[in-house]
Amino acid sequence: MGEHLADQLLLPMALAGGGTFSCSTVPQHALTNAEVIARFLPVHITFEQQERNSICTVAAA
């Protein structure tokens, strides 16, 4: 998945209660979006760098 879609998936996944997806890169906008979402919803969002991509995990806190 491209970097521009990564930040757009965070909110729907947080509202749904969680999920995981992979993306080619993690742009700064996605990191900022994750911080804002975590301030308003009881979720924990992490980005884990893998060999070829990054894995984003959204989990209920």
Give the integer Cα–Cα distance in Å for 11 and 51.
Answer: 26
Residue 26 contacts residue 50 (beta carbons within 8 Å): no
State pLDDT tens for residues 14-53: 999 999 999 998 999 999 999 999 999 999 999 999 999 9
Whole-number Cα distances in Å, 23 to 10, 17, 41: 12, 20, 23
Q: Is 44 a catalytic residue?
A: no
Helix (H) or strand (E) holding 5: helix 3-16
Set 29, 35, 42, 49: catalytic member: 29
pTM: 0.88
d(CA 48, CA 39): 20
